[in-house]
Amino acid sequence: MAIRKLQNGIGAQDVFSELESFRANDVQWRDGRCFTLAYSAGPEALAVAEEAYRRFSGENALNTAAFPSLKLMQQDVVDTVAGWCHGDDDVAGFMTSGGTESLVLVVRSAVMRAKREGRLTGTPNMVLPTSAHAALEKGADYFSVESRRVGVGPDWRANISAMRAAVDENTILIVGSAPQYPQGVVDPIVHIAAIAAEHDINCHVDACMGGVTLPYLEALGEEIAPWDFRVDGVTSISVDLHKYGYTSKGAGVLLHKNKKLRSDQTFMTDNWLGGMYGSSGILGTKSGGPIASAWAVLRFLGDDGYRKVARSARDSALKIASHIDAHPLLTLRAQPDSTLLCFGTADPKRHDVFALAELLIERGWFMDRQTPPASIHLTVHAGHEARIDEFLTDLDECIQEIEGRTGSAGSYATTD
């Protein structure tokens, strides 16, 4: 690593010009050309998100006694998300920085509950399908929990009988997704939660991708498999607002069935010279920007706005899925239960799906490449509606150009 000595200060406009030059090669996500990582409900919602973030970026949510505005906004946001998840008056939660922090805290909460109840007789373990998010592995690593991954069925949903068989006296957590990320299907949460209820352990539903969209699709008349607090045995749900809530990055919510379970998430100590210290999550200092942005966008879009963007994203996803399903050279991994879809090529030896992804990227699109099996993954949101026909045209042209070519799987990570 090269050590760089900070130079004397320069003018603000020069700083901003440099910033703009840095992102010259970034994907144009604001133009609807990115099917991962970033989300848009249009320029007006984006402007509201960014301005609210700017106004509260310097406020610190570590201690809301100093910033009661952040406490008010956080509670409003948590209450709204609890309503989407059909929580009752006992449901309690906190905002987090997003899905990874939420899922790491889910693992910690399960460990702390097991300790609180005096249940641990050996190494704690959690049981989850191979489709559950990788951030749960981070939580298992951080808190020394054995991760028992169970293969999914041919429909890519959790294998209930295999999950039940994997549970033992040291299981502290069982997990399902709504939807799971890789193939975009909703796990059979009713059956997963029933296993948790039988053993009186935590059952988490990772709804980071679907926690906003699924309630509105149900309200719009779509048939949605049960996944939220209406399901007996569900003890916690994570929902990301910086995804389909269309807020600025750094905004998630982790809900618990009651305050006792929420207490297992929090950390408290007075074992230092500075007095009592408490934190609801991994972060100590937390910018007020994400909280204000989430509150502002929820107010700006409102119930009618979220219905509209959910319908837009769903229709766009179904249009892409239908096109791929009918294409002789492509294969859809699963019919999407919400707005995520995954596909490969009908003859992988002849047409390498990663070569297809690279050609699409060369044309200005960006998407995830995942394995196994080798696939392209699309996260479809409201900002894609005007671009779908263009994308499908490029897809059809690129598939004709890749015979004999090979591509790279890429990585959904930053490691250097």
CATH number at residue 313: 3.90.1150.10
The pTM of the full predicted model, rounded to 2 decimals, is 0.95
Omega cis (within 30) before 373: yes
Task: Identify whether 408 is part of a domain.
Answer: no
CATH code of the domain covering residue 231: 3.40.640.10
How many Cα atoms within 13 Å fall on the side-chain side of residue 278?
A: 9
- Given a cut of 90, whether residue 221 has pLDDT beyond it is yes
**Mean pLDDT, rounded, for 3-23:** 92
Q: What is the pLDDT of residue 411?
A: 61
Picking from 298, 327, 354, the residue at the C-terminal end of a domain is 298
Considering the domain architecture, whether residues 191 and 210 belong to the same structural domain is answered as: yes
Considering the domain architecture, whether residues 255 and 308 belong to the same structural domain is answered as: no
Considering the domain architecture, whether residues 294 and 307 belong to the same structural domain is answered as: no
Picking from 273, 298, 323, the residue at the C-terminal end of a domain is 298
What's the domain range around 327? 303-399
- Given a cut of 70, whether residue 82 has pLDDT beyond it is yes
Tell me the sheet residues that pair with 236: 204, 256
Give the sheet arrangement for strand 125-129, strand by strand: 92-96, 252-256, 236-240, 202-206, 171-177, 125-129, 146-150
Q: Per residue in 358-410, pLDDT tens?
A: 999 999 999 999 999 999 999 999 999 999 999 999 999 999 998 878 777 76
Q: Per residue in 313-365, pLDDT tens?
A: 999 999 999 999 999 999 999 999 999 999 999 999 999 999 999 999 999 99
Considering the domain architecture, whether residues 171 and 246 belong to the same structural domain is answered as: yes
Considering the domain architecture, whether residues 271 and 394 belong to the same structural domain is answered as: no
Q: How does residue 4 score in pLDDT terms, banded at 50, 70 and 90?
A: confident
Q: Structural domain tally of the chain?
A: 2
Considering the domain architecture, whether residues 265 and 282 belong to the same structural domain is answered as: yes
